[in-house]
Amino acid sequence: MHTITAAMAWEYFARNRWTLLLFPFVANLMPIFVLGALSGYNVNFGSKEFIGIYLGFVLYTTAIIGIGVLMTQGSISRFYLKPLSTTTMVNFFFWGGGALAAAEIACSIAIWNNLFNANWPIAGPVLFAIALWGSFQPLLRVPVKSISGIITAGAIVAGVGYWFLSRHDELEGHGKNFWHNISGFDLLFAVVAISVGYGLTLWRVRWDRSGRQLMTLTDRIEEAFERWLCQYFTLNHTFSSPLRAHRWFDFQTRTFMLPLVCFLFLGAIWSIALGMAAYNQDHKIGIEVIFSCTNITAFAQLIIAFVIGMVMIQGYQWNSGRKMRGQDQVAMKPSEYRIGHYLHSLPISPTHMARAILQSAAWSIGASTLLMSLSLGLLWAWMSLTSFNVHTLIKPDIQFWQLAVIGVSFYVFLPFALMNNIATFTLVVNRQVWLPPFIIGTVILIAVWPLFVGLALVAAVLGLLTYCTIQCLKRKDVTPLATATIWSFGVIVSIALALSFRPEDWRIASVIAASLGTLTILPFFSLPLALQYHRTT
Protein backbone atom coordinates (compact mmCIF):
# COMPACT_ATOMS: atom_id res chain seq x y z
CA MET A 1 0.00 0.00 0.00
CA HIS A 2 1.31 3.45 -0.90
CA THR A 3 1.86 6.04 1.80
CA ILE A 4 -0.30 9.14 2.16
CA THR A 5 2.60 11.33 1.11
CA ALA A 6 3.09 9.28 -2.06
CA ALA A 7 -0.62 9.65 -2.87
CA MET A 8 -0.45 13.40 -2.36
CA ALA A 9 2.64 13.60 -4.60
CA TRP A 10 0.87 11.59 -7.31
CA GLU A 11 -2.17 13.87 -7.08
CA TYR A 12 0.09 16.93 -7.37
CA PHE A 13 1.90 15.74 -10.50
CA ALA A 14 -1.23 14.27 -12.11
CA ARG A 15 -3.21 17.46 -11.56
CA ASN A 16 -0.57 19.87 -12.87
CA ARG A 17 1.22 17.75 -15.51
CA TRP A 18 2.77 20.04 -18.11
CA THR A 19 2.16 23.15 -16.00
CA LEU A 20 5.06 22.17 -13.75
CA LEU A 21 7.53 23.02 -16.51
CA LEU A 22 5.77 26.19 -17.64
CA PHE A 23 7.09 28.42 -14.86
CA PRO A 24 10.75 27.28 -15.15
CA PHE A 25 10.48 27.90 -18.88
CA VAL A 26 9.16 31.44 -18.36
CA ALA A 27 11.81 32.09 -15.70
CA ASN A 28 14.64 31.00 -18.02
CA LEU A 29 13.37 32.66 -21.17
CA MET A 30 14.62 36.18 -20.48
CA PRO A 31 18.02 35.17 -19.00
CA ILE A 32 18.68 32.92 -22.00
CA PHE A 33 17.87 35.68 -24.48
CA VAL A 34 19.90 38.34 -22.65
CA LEU A 35 22.93 36.12 -22.13
CA GLY A 36 22.67 34.94 -25.73
CA ALA A 37 22.76 38.54 -26.91
CA LEU A 38 25.72 39.41 -24.68
CA SER A 39 27.63 36.29 -25.69
CA GLY A 40 28.24 37.87 -29.08
CA TYR A 41 30.52 40.40 -27.42
CA ASN A 42 33.01 37.67 -26.39
CA VAL A 43 32.65 38.51 -22.71
CA ASN A 44 33.46 36.44 -19.67
CA PHE A 45 30.30 36.06 -17.63
CA GLY A 46 32.34 34.78 -14.71
CA SER A 47 34.05 38.15 -14.27
CA LYS A 48 32.99 40.45 -11.48
CA GLU A 49 31.60 43.06 -13.89
CA PHE A 50 28.60 40.82 -14.58
CA ILE A 51 27.65 40.16 -10.98
CA GLY A 52 24.80 42.69 -11.22
CA ILE A 53 23.23 40.78 -14.11
CA TYR A 54 23.76 37.54 -12.21
CA LEU A 55 22.00 38.88 -9.10
CA GLY A 56 19.09 40.22 -11.14
CA PHE A 57 18.61 36.90 -12.91
CA VAL A 58 18.80 34.94 -9.66
CA LEU A 59 16.20 37.14 -7.95
CA TYR A 60 13.92 37.12 -11.01
CA THR A 61 14.16 33.35 -11.46
CA THR A 62 13.67 32.68 -7.74
CA ALA A 63 10.50 34.78 -7.67
CA ILE A 64 8.95 33.27 -10.80
CA ILE A 65 9.72 29.69 -9.79
CA GLY A 66 8.52 30.28 -6.22
CA ILE A 67 5.24 31.75 -7.48
CA GLY A 68 4.87 28.80 -9.84
CA VAL A 69 5.31 26.23 -7.08
CA LEU A 70 2.81 28.05 -4.86
CA MET A 71 0.22 28.24 -7.62
CA THR A 72 0.57 24.60 -8.64
CA GLN A 73 0.35 23.45 -5.01
CA GLY A 74 -2.87 25.34 -4.41
CA SER A 75 -4.42 25.98 -1.03
CA ILE A 76 -3.59 23.72 1.88
CA SER A 77 -7.17 24.13 3.16
CA ARG A 78 -8.49 21.67 0.56
CA PHE A 79 -6.94 18.88 2.68
CA TYR A 80 -8.49 20.04 5.97
CA LEU A 81 -11.38 17.54 5.74
CA LYS A 82 -9.15 14.65 4.70
CA PRO A 83 -7.99 12.03 7.25
CA LEU A 84 -4.54 13.61 7.41
CA SER A 85 -2.61 15.01 10.31
CA THR A 86 -1.69 18.68 10.21
CA THR A 87 1.99 17.76 10.38
CA THR A 88 1.68 15.57 7.26
CA MET A 89 0.02 18.36 5.30
CA VAL A 90 2.52 21.00 6.38
CA ASN A 91 5.47 18.70 5.69
CA PHE A 92 4.26 18.00 2.16
CA PHE A 93 3.64 21.65 1.26
CA PHE A 94 6.61 23.09 3.15
CA TRP A 95 9.40 20.61 2.43
CA GLY A 96 8.05 19.29 -0.87
CA GLY A 97 7.57 22.75 -2.35
CA GLY A 98 10.93 23.95 -1.06
CA ALA A 99 12.75 20.95 -2.55
CA LEU A 100 11.02 21.42 -5.91
CA ALA A 101 11.82 25.15 -6.03
CA ALA A 102 15.46 24.54 -5.04
CA ALA A 103 15.86 21.84 -7.70
CA GLU A 104 14.40 24.07 -10.43
CA ILE A 105 16.64 27.00 -9.47
CA ALA A 106 19.72 24.78 -9.39
CA CYS A 107 18.86 23.37 -12.83
CA SER A 108 18.28 26.87 -14.20
CA ILE A 109 21.71 28.16 -13.16
CA ALA A 110 23.31 24.92 -14.38
CA ILE A 111 21.70 25.51 -17.80
CA TRP A 112 23.13 29.04 -17.92
CA ASN A 113 26.57 27.76 -17.01
CA ASN A 114 26.39 24.97 -19.58
CA LEU A 115 25.23 27.19 -22.46
CA PHE A 116 27.40 30.24 -21.83
CA ASN A 117 30.32 28.97 -19.70
CA ALA A 118 29.33 31.45 -17.01
CA ASN A 119 30.72 29.44 -14.09
CA TRP A 120 28.19 31.06 -11.77
CA PRO A 121 27.79 29.55 -8.28
CA ILE A 122 24.75 27.38 -7.62
CA ALA A 123 24.86 26.50 -3.92
CA GLY A 124 24.47 30.08 -2.66
CA PRO A 125 21.34 30.95 -4.66
CA VAL A 126 19.79 27.59 -3.76
CA LEU A 127 20.39 28.20 -0.06
CA PHE A 128 18.95 31.71 -0.43
CA ALA A 129 15.86 30.35 -2.21
CA ILE A 130 15.23 27.74 0.48
CA ALA A 131 15.61 30.31 3.26
CA LEU A 132 13.26 32.73 1.49
CA TRP A 133 10.73 29.95 0.83
CA GLY A 134 10.71 28.86 4.47
CA SER A 135 10.44 32.42 5.77
CA PHE A 136 7.37 33.23 3.66
CA GLN A 137 5.39 30.05 4.36
CA PRO A 138 3.64 31.31 7.53
CA LEU A 139 2.22 34.23 5.53
CA LEU A 140 1.29 32.26 2.41
CA ARG A 141 -0.23 29.04 3.74
CA VAL A 142 -2.68 30.99 5.91
CA PRO A 143 -2.91 34.40 4.23
CA VAL A 144 -2.62 37.44 6.49
CA LYS A 145 -5.08 39.98 5.09
CA SER A 146 -4.01 42.97 7.15
CA ILE A 147 -1.34 45.61 7.31
CA SER A 148 0.70 43.37 9.62
CA GLY A 149 1.17 40.93 6.73
CA ILE A 150 2.61 43.69 4.54
CA ILE A 151 4.96 44.81 7.30
CA THR A 152 6.08 41.24 7.99
CA ALA A 153 6.64 40.50 4.29
CA GLY A 154 8.71 43.66 3.96
CA ALA A 155 10.81 42.70 6.98
CA ILE A 156 11.42 39.21 5.53
CA VAL A 157 12.48 40.60 2.16
CA ALA A 158 14.74 43.16 3.83
CA GLY A 159 16.40 40.61 6.14
CA VAL A 160 16.91 37.74 3.72
CA GLY A 161 17.71 40.13 0.87
CA TYR A 162 20.35 41.92 2.95
CA TRP A 163 21.96 38.58 3.77
CA PHE A 164 21.98 37.53 0.12
CA LEU A 165 23.35 40.83 -1.23
CA SER A 166 25.94 41.17 1.52
CA ARG A 167 27.42 37.79 0.56
CA HIS A 168 28.24 39.40 -2.82
CA ASP A 169 29.45 42.70 -1.28
CA GLU A 170 26.71 44.36 -3.35
CA LEU A 171 25.72 46.76 -0.58
CA GLU A 172 29.13 48.38 -0.73
CA GLY A 173 28.67 49.43 -4.35
CA HIS A 174 29.49 47.20 -7.28
CA GLY A 175 29.59 43.53 -6.60
CA LYS A 176 33.06 42.33 -5.73
CA ASN A 177 32.72 38.61 -5.19
CA PHE A 178 30.56 35.72 -6.27
CA TRP A 179 29.14 33.59 -3.48
CA HIS A 180 31.24 30.48 -4.02
CA ASN A 181 31.83 29.48 -0.39
CA ILE A 182 29.08 28.85 2.15
CA SER A 183 30.20 29.70 5.67
CA GLY A 184 28.94 28.40 8.97
CA PHE A 185 27.03 31.65 9.52
CA ASP A 186 25.23 31.15 6.21
CA LEU A 187 24.11 27.68 7.22
CA LEU A 188 23.07 28.94 10.66
CA PHE A 189 21.07 31.81 9.15
CA ALA A 190 19.28 29.48 6.71
CA VAL A 191 18.56 26.87 9.40
CA VAL A 192 17.13 29.49 11.76
CA ALA A 193 14.97 31.04 9.01
CA ILE A 194 13.64 27.65 7.89
CA SER A 195 13.06 26.38 11.44
CA VAL A 196 11.18 29.49 12.55
CA GLY A 197 9.16 29.46 9.33
CA TYR A 198 8.27 25.80 9.73
CA GLY A 199 7.19 26.21 13.35
CA LEU A 200 5.03 29.25 12.62
CA THR A 201 3.50 27.57 9.57
CA LEU A 202 2.56 24.50 11.59
CA TRP A 203 1.07 26.65 14.34
CA ARG A 204 -0.94 28.86 11.97
CA VAL A 205 -2.29 25.90 9.95
CA ARG A 206 -3.45 24.18 13.15
CA TRP A 207 -5.31 27.30 14.21
CA ASP A 208 -6.86 27.74 10.78
CA ARG A 209 -7.88 24.08 10.52
CA SER A 210 -9.60 24.20 13.90
CA GLY A 211 -11.75 27.11 12.72
CA ARG A 212 -10.25 29.61 15.14
CA GLN A 213 -9.21 33.02 13.85
CA LEU A 214 -6.02 34.69 14.97
CA MET A 215 -6.48 38.42 15.58
CA THR A 216 -3.30 40.41 16.06
CA LEU A 217 -3.18 43.94 17.43
CA THR A 218 -2.83 45.42 13.96
CA ASP A 219 -5.81 43.35 12.80
CA ARG A 220 -7.99 44.82 15.56
CA ILE A 221 -6.80 48.35 14.83
CA GLU A 222 -7.45 47.94 11.12
CA GLU A 223 -10.89 46.43 11.72
CA ALA A 224 -11.87 49.30 14.01
CA PHE A 225 -10.59 51.85 11.49
CA GLU A 226 -12.53 50.24 8.63
CA ARG A 227 -15.68 50.18 10.74
CA TRP A 228 -15.28 53.90 11.42
CA LEU A 229 -14.76 54.61 7.72
CA CYS A 230 -17.89 52.66 6.80
CA GLN A 231 -19.94 54.64 9.31
CA TYR A 232 -18.82 58.13 8.38
CA PHE A 233 -17.76 57.95 4.74
CA THR A 234 -19.48 56.78 1.59
CA LEU A 235 -17.45 56.82 -1.60
CA ASN A 236 -19.45 57.36 -4.79
CA HIS A 237 -17.96 57.47 -8.27
CA THR A 238 -19.79 58.57 -11.36
CA PHE A 239 -18.48 57.52 -14.77
CA SER A 240 -19.47 58.73 -18.20
CA SER A 241 -19.20 55.29 -19.84
CA PRO A 242 -18.88 51.59 -18.93
CA LEU A 243 -15.37 51.60 -20.40
CA ARG A 244 -14.15 54.25 -17.95
CA ALA A 245 -15.85 52.49 -15.05
CA HIS A 246 -14.21 49.18 -15.88
CA ARG A 247 -10.83 50.89 -16.40
CA TRP A 248 -11.07 52.44 -12.93
CA PHE A 249 -12.11 49.12 -11.40
CA ASP A 250 -9.27 47.19 -13.07
CA PHE A 251 -6.69 49.74 -11.97
CA GLN A 252 -7.95 49.81 -8.38
CA THR A 253 -8.10 46.03 -7.97
CA ARG A 254 -5.19 44.79 -10.10
CA THR A 255 -2.72 46.99 -11.93
CA PHE A 256 -2.12 49.53 -9.16
CA MET A 257 0.36 47.06 -7.63
CA LEU A 258 3.03 47.94 -10.20
CA PRO A 259 3.47 51.67 -9.41
CA LEU A 260 2.92 51.01 -5.71
CA VAL A 261 5.75 48.48 -5.49
CA CYS A 262 7.96 50.69 -7.65
CA PHE A 263 7.32 53.66 -5.34
CA LEU A 264 8.07 51.63 -2.21
CA PHE A 265 11.24 50.12 -3.70
CA LEU A 266 12.62 53.43 -4.93
CA GLY A 267 11.76 55.20 -1.68
CA ALA A 268 13.56 52.54 0.35
CA ILE A 269 16.54 52.55 -2.04
CA TRP A 270 17.01 56.32 -1.85
CA SER A 271 16.64 56.35 1.93
CA ILE A 272 19.24 53.61 2.37
CA ALA A 273 21.63 55.14 -0.19
CA LEU A 274 21.47 58.63 1.32
CA GLY A 275 22.00 57.16 4.77
CA MET A 276 25.02 55.13 3.64
CA ALA A 277 26.52 58.12 1.81
CA ALA A 278 26.09 60.35 4.86
CA TYR A 279 27.44 57.75 7.26
CA ASN A 280 30.54 57.00 5.16
CA GLN A 281 30.85 60.63 3.94
CA ASP A 282 31.32 59.31 0.41
CA HIS A 283 28.81 60.18 -2.30
CA LYS A 284 30.23 57.44 -4.55
CA ILE A 285 28.71 54.72 -2.36
CA GLY A 286 25.25 56.26 -2.55
CA ILE A 287 25.38 56.70 -6.33
CA GLU A 288 26.53 53.13 -6.94
CA VAL A 289 23.91 51.69 -4.59
CA ILE A 290 21.10 53.64 -6.30
CA PHE A 291 22.26 52.66 -9.78
CA SER A 292 22.58 48.98 -8.87
CA CYS A 293 19.31 48.78 -6.94
CA THR A 294 17.41 50.66 -9.66
CA ASN A 295 18.25 47.80 -12.00
CA ILE A 296 16.99 45.36 -9.36
CA THR A 297 13.77 47.42 -9.20
CA ALA A 298 13.41 46.95 -12.95
CA PHE A 299 13.55 43.18 -12.45
CA ALA A 300 11.04 43.53 -9.62
CA GLN A 301 8.69 45.27 -12.08
CA LEU A 302 8.78 42.21 -14.29
CA ILE A 303 7.91 39.97 -11.36
CA ILE A 304 5.00 42.20 -10.32
CA ALA A 305 3.79 42.34 -13.94
CA PHE A 306 3.86 38.55 -14.00
CA VAL A 307 1.82 38.42 -10.78
CA ILE A 308 -0.70 40.92 -12.19
CA GLY A 309 -1.08 38.72 -15.25
CA MET A 310 -1.76 35.69 -13.06
CA VAL A 311 -4.33 37.66 -11.04
CA MET A 312 -6.06 38.47 -14.32
CA ILE A 313 -6.44 34.75 -15.02
CA GLN A 314 -8.20 34.33 -11.68
CA GLY A 315 -10.41 37.40 -12.13
CA TYR A 316 -11.75 37.05 -15.66
CA GLN A 317 -12.36 33.32 -15.91
CA TRP A 318 -16.02 32.58 -16.45
CA ASN A 319 -16.03 28.80 -16.10
CA SER A 320 -13.28 28.50 -13.49
CA GLY A 321 -13.97 25.58 -11.19
CA ARG A 322 -16.85 24.11 -13.20
CA LYS A 323 -14.73 21.73 -15.26
CA MET A 324 -11.69 19.79 -14.21
CA ARG A 325 -10.24 17.66 -17.02
CA GLY A 326 -13.54 16.06 -18.02
CA GLN A 327 -14.57 15.15 -14.49
CA ASP A 328 -17.87 16.03 -12.91
CA GLN A 329 -18.50 19.53 -11.72
CA VAL A 330 -16.47 20.38 -8.67
CA ALA A 331 -17.37 23.15 -6.28
CA MET A 332 -14.50 25.47 -5.55
CA LYS A 333 -14.04 27.96 -2.74
CA PRO A 334 -14.85 31.49 -3.95
CA SER A 335 -11.96 33.90 -4.19
CA GLU A 336 -11.95 37.67 -3.99
CA TYR A 337 -10.27 37.68 -7.41
CA ARG A 338 -12.49 35.05 -9.05
CA ILE A 339 -15.48 37.30 -9.87
CA GLY A 340 -15.77 36.42 -13.53
CA HIS A 341 -19.53 35.75 -13.31
CA TYR A 342 -20.18 39.29 -12.15
CA LEU A 343 -17.75 40.97 -14.56
CA HIS A 344 -19.09 39.15 -17.60
CA SER A 345 -22.69 39.94 -16.64
CA LEU A 346 -22.09 43.70 -16.74
CA PRO A 347 -23.51 45.72 -19.67
CA ILE A 348 -20.15 46.14 -21.38
CA SER A 349 -18.94 44.42 -24.52
CA PRO A 350 -15.80 42.25 -24.50
CA THR A 351 -14.18 44.76 -26.88
CA HIS A 352 -14.68 47.68 -24.49
CA MET A 353 -13.68 45.51 -21.54
CA ALA A 354 -10.42 44.62 -23.31
CA ARG A 355 -9.76 48.30 -24.06
CA ALA A 356 -10.35 49.18 -20.43
CA ILE A 357 -7.91 46.50 -19.29
CA LEU A 358 -5.23 47.66 -21.74
CA GLN A 359 -5.72 51.29 -20.74
CA SER A 360 -5.44 50.33 -17.07
CA ALA A 361 -2.19 48.52 -17.81
CA ALA A 362 -0.91 51.57 -19.72
CA TRP A 363 -1.74 53.82 -16.76
CA SER A 364 0.07 51.51 -14.39
CA ILE A 365 3.19 51.17 -16.52
CA GLY A 366 3.20 54.89 -17.27
CA ALA A 367 3.16 55.73 -13.56
CA SER A 368 5.96 53.27 -12.74
CA THR A 369 8.03 54.49 -15.71
CA LEU A 370 7.61 58.07 -14.52
CA LEU A 371 8.89 57.06 -11.09
CA MET A 372 11.87 55.24 -12.60
CA SER A 373 12.65 58.21 -14.84
CA LEU A 374 12.44 60.58 -11.87
CA SER A 375 14.83 58.38 -9.90
CA LEU A 376 17.33 58.21 -12.77
CA GLY A 377 16.98 61.97 -13.34
CA LEU A 378 17.77 62.74 -9.71
CA LEU A 379 20.67 60.31 -9.89
CA TRP A 380 22.02 62.09 -12.99
CA ALA A 381 21.71 65.45 -11.20
CA TRP A 382 23.59 64.04 -8.19
CA MET A 383 26.37 62.76 -10.44
CA SER A 384 26.58 66.12 -12.23
CA LEU A 385 26.83 68.09 -8.99
CA THR A 386 29.56 65.83 -7.62
CA SER A 387 31.45 65.43 -10.94
CA PHE A 388 31.03 61.67 -10.75
CA ASN A 389 32.55 59.71 -13.64
CA VAL A 390 29.56 58.03 -15.26
CA HIS A 391 31.81 55.62 -17.17
CA THR A 392 32.44 53.75 -13.92
CA LEU A 393 28.79 52.64 -14.19
CA ILE A 394 28.33 52.48 -17.98
CA LYS A 395 30.92 51.24 -20.46
CA PRO A 396 32.30 54.00 -22.73
CA ASP A 397 31.41 52.11 -25.93
CA ILE A 398 27.66 52.18 -25.09
CA GLN A 399 25.88 55.19 -26.59
CA PHE A 400 23.21 57.07 -24.66
CA TRP A 401 20.50 56.45 -27.29
CA GLN A 402 21.21 52.72 -27.15
CA LEU A 403 20.80 52.74 -23.38
CA ALA A 404 17.61 54.78 -23.72
CA VAL A 405 16.02 52.40 -26.25
CA ILE A 406 16.91 49.31 -24.22
CA GLY A 407 15.75 51.00 -21.02
CA VAL A 408 12.36 51.96 -22.47
CA SER A 409 11.92 48.44 -23.84
CA PHE A 410 12.82 46.94 -20.48
CA TYR A 411 10.75 49.34 -18.31
CA VAL A 412 7.69 49.74 -20.57
CA PHE A 413 7.14 47.16 -23.29
CA LEU A 414 8.30 44.01 -21.49
CA PRO A 415 6.11 44.58 -18.37
CA PHE A 416 3.16 45.40 -20.66
CA ALA A 417 3.68 42.13 -22.52
CA LEU A 418 3.94 40.12 -19.29
CA MET A 419 0.94 41.84 -17.73
CA ASN A 420 -1.46 41.03 -20.56
CA ASN A 421 -0.12 38.03 -22.48
CA ILE A 422 -0.12 35.49 -19.64
CA ALA A 423 -3.91 35.58 -19.55
CA THR A 424 -4.01 35.68 -23.35
CA PHE A 425 -2.22 32.36 -23.77
CA THR A 426 -4.34 30.80 -21.04
CA LEU A 427 -7.70 32.07 -22.25
CA VAL A 428 -7.40 32.05 -26.05
CA VAL A 429 -5.70 28.73 -26.66
CA ASN A 430 -6.67 25.43 -25.11
CA ARG A 431 -4.25 24.23 -22.46
CA GLN A 432 -3.60 20.96 -24.22
CA VAL A 433 -2.51 22.88 -27.35
CA TRP A 434 -0.11 25.49 -26.06
CA LEU A 435 1.58 23.73 -23.13
CA PRO A 436 3.34 20.90 -25.02
CA PRO A 437 5.15 23.35 -27.37
CA PHE A 438 6.43 25.20 -24.31
CA ILE A 439 7.71 21.96 -22.82
CA ILE A 440 9.34 20.92 -26.08
CA GLY A 441 10.94 24.34 -26.21
CA THR A 442 12.29 23.81 -22.71
CA VAL A 443 14.01 20.59 -23.77
CA ILE A 444 15.43 22.28 -26.86
CA LEU A 445 16.61 25.13 -24.67
CA ILE A 446 18.84 22.76 -22.76
CA ALA A 447 20.35 20.92 -25.70
CA VAL A 448 20.36 23.32 -28.68
CA TRP A 449 21.52 26.83 -29.49
CA PRO A 450 19.13 29.34 -27.83
CA LEU A 451 18.61 31.23 -31.10
CA PHE A 452 16.59 28.29 -32.45
CA VAL A 453 14.19 28.59 -29.51
CA GLY A 454 13.88 32.30 -30.16
CA LEU A 455 12.98 31.74 -33.80
CA ALA A 456 10.38 29.14 -32.81
CA LEU A 457 8.90 31.53 -30.25
CA VAL A 458 8.73 34.40 -32.75
CA ALA A 459 7.06 32.15 -35.34
CA ALA A 460 4.49 30.90 -32.80
CA VAL A 461 3.62 34.37 -31.50
CA LEU A 462 3.49 35.83 -35.02
CA GLY A 463 1.13 33.07 -36.11
CA LEU A 464 -1.14 33.67 -33.11
CA LEU A 465 -1.01 37.43 -33.71
CA THR A 466 -2.02 37.00 -37.36
CA TYR A 467 -4.90 34.71 -36.43
CA CYS A 468 -6.20 37.06 -33.72
CA THR A 469 -5.90 40.08 -36.03
CA ILE A 470 -7.96 38.39 -38.75
CA GLN A 471 -10.62 37.34 -36.25
CA CYS A 472 -10.85 40.83 -34.75
CA LEU A 473 -11.24 42.37 -38.20
CA LYS A 474 -14.01 39.88 -39.02
CA ARG A 475 -15.78 40.66 -35.75
CA LYS A 476 -15.14 44.41 -36.22
CA ASP A 477 -13.49 44.66 -32.81
CA VAL A 478 -10.89 46.97 -34.38
CA THR A 479 -10.94 49.14 -37.47
CA PRO A 480 -8.50 48.61 -40.35
CA LEU A 481 -6.88 51.97 -39.56
CA ALA A 482 -6.33 51.01 -35.92
CA THR A 483 -4.96 47.64 -37.02
CA ALA A 484 -2.46 49.26 -39.36
CA THR A 485 -1.43 51.71 -36.64
CA ILE A 486 -0.86 49.00 -34.04
CA TRP A 487 1.10 46.79 -36.42
CA SER A 488 3.20 49.77 -37.55
CA PHE A 489 3.96 50.56 -33.91
CA GLY A 490 5.11 47.00 -33.33
CA VAL A 491 7.37 47.13 -36.39
CA ILE A 492 8.88 50.45 -35.27
CA VAL A 493 9.54 49.09 -31.77
CA SER A 494 11.21 45.99 -33.20
CA ILE A 495 13.41 47.96 -35.60
CA ALA A 496 14.47 50.51 -32.97
CA LEU A 497 15.38 47.79 -30.51
CA ALA A 498 17.28 45.79 -33.14
CA LEU A 499 19.31 48.86 -34.17
CA SER A 500 20.41 49.41 -30.57
CA PHE A 501 22.62 46.28 -30.81
CA ARG A 502 25.91 46.01 -32.65
CA PRO A 503 25.66 45.26 -36.40
CA GLU A 504 27.52 41.96 -36.01
CA ASP A 505 24.84 40.77 -33.54
CA TRP A 506 21.96 41.25 -35.95
CA ARG A 507 20.78 37.63 -35.65
CA ILE A 508 20.12 37.53 -31.91
CA ALA A 509 19.09 41.22 -31.97
CA SER A 510 16.44 40.50 -34.60
CA VAL A 511 15.04 37.61 -32.57
CA ILE A 512 14.82 39.64 -29.35
CA ALA A 513 13.35 42.67 -31.11
CA ALA A 514 10.78 40.64 -33.05
CA SER A 515 9.74 38.75 -29.90
CA LEU A 516 9.23 41.93 -27.89
CA GLY A 517 7.44 43.73 -30.74
CA THR A 518 4.96 40.93 -31.40
CA LEU A 519 4.30 40.26 -27.71
CA THR A 520 3.66 43.97 -27.11
CA ILE A 521 0.91 44.32 -29.73
CA LEU A 522 -0.58 40.83 -29.31
CA PRO A 523 -3.02 41.76 -26.44
CA PHE A 524 -4.70 44.41 -28.61
CA PHE A 525 -6.11 41.62 -30.77
CA SER A 526 -6.11 38.54 -28.55
CA LEU A 527 -7.70 39.99 -25.41
CA PRO A 528 -11.12 40.74 -27.00
CA LEU A 529 -11.24 37.18 -28.30
CA ALA A 530 -10.23 35.80 -24.92
CA LEU A 531 -12.94 37.70 -23.05
CA GLN A 532 -15.54 36.80 -25.66
CA TYR A 533 -14.55 33.15 -25.37
CA HIS A 534 -15.04 33.11 -21.62
CA ARG A 535 -18.28 35.05 -21.77
CA THR A 536 -19.86 32.56 -24.16
CA THR A 537 -18.33 29.32 -22.80
pLDDT tens string 69-105: 988 888 888 888 888 888 999 999 999 999 999 999 9
Task: Report whether pLDDT(53) > 60.
Answer: yes
What is the residue-averaged pLDDT of the chain? 77
Q: Give the highest mean pLDDT range of 191-205, 295-309, 328-342, 418-432.
A: 191-205
Quote the pLDDT of residue 97: 92
8-state DSSP, 210: T
Of 410, 502, 282, 393, nearest to 49 by C-alpha is 393
Give the least confident one: 287-301, 345-359, 361-375, 425-439: 425-439
Spatial separation of the C-alpha atoms in residues 149 and 143, rounded to whole Å = 8
Quote the pLDDT of residue 213: 66
Task: Give the sign of the dihedral formed by CA 455, CA 458, CA 461, CA 463.
Answer: negative
Spatial separation of the C-alpha atoms in residues 222 and 255, rounded to whole Å = 24
- At 39 the three-state DSSP class reads helix
Quote the pLDDT of residue 167: 81
Give the least confident one: 43-52, 283-292, 434-443, 456-465: 434-443
Task: Report whether pLDDT(474) > 60.
Answer: yes
Task: Report whether pLDDT(423) > 80.
Answer: no
Quote the pLDDT of residue 497: 77
Task: Report whether pLDDT(233) > 70.
Answer: no
Spatial separation of the C-alpha atoms in residues 320 and 330, rounded to whole Å = 10
Quote the pLDDT of residue 498: 79
Quote the pLDDT of residue 322: 39
Task: Report the percent of the chain where pLDDT is more than 90.
Answer: 10
Report residue 239's pLDDT band, with 50, 70 and 90 as the boundaries.
confident
As a whole number, mean pLDDT of residues 231-241 equals 66
Report residue 189's pLDDT band, with 50, 70 and 90 as the boundaries.
very high
Task: Report whether pLDDT(66) > 70.
Answer: yes
Report residue 394's pLDDT band, with 50, 70 and 90 as the boundaries.
low
55 neighbors 170 (Cβ within 8 angstroms): yes
Spatial separation of the C-alpha atoms in residues 298 and 300, rounded to whole Å = 5
Task: Report whether pLDDT(212) > 90.
Answer: no
52 neighbors 62 (Cβ within 8 angstroms): no
As a whole number, mean pLDDT of residues 325-335 equals 38
- At 115 the three-state DSSP class reads helix
Task: Report whether pLDDT(139) > 90.
Answer: no
Quote the pLDDT of residue 67: 87
Quote the pLDDT of residue 337: 40
Give the least confident one: 284-298, 333-347, 514-528: 333-347
Quote the pLDDT of residue 101: 93
Task: Report whether pLDDT(191) > 90.
Answer: yes
Exposed, middle or buried, 356 (CB in 10 Å: 0-12/13-18/19+)?
Answer: buried
Tell me, what amino acid is at 373? S
Quote the pLDDT of residue 129: 92
408 neighbors 513 (Cβ within 8 angstroms): no
Quote the pLDDT of residue 400: 53
As a whole number, mean pLDDT of residues 266-273 equals 83
Task: Report whether pLDDT(269) > 50.
Answer: yes
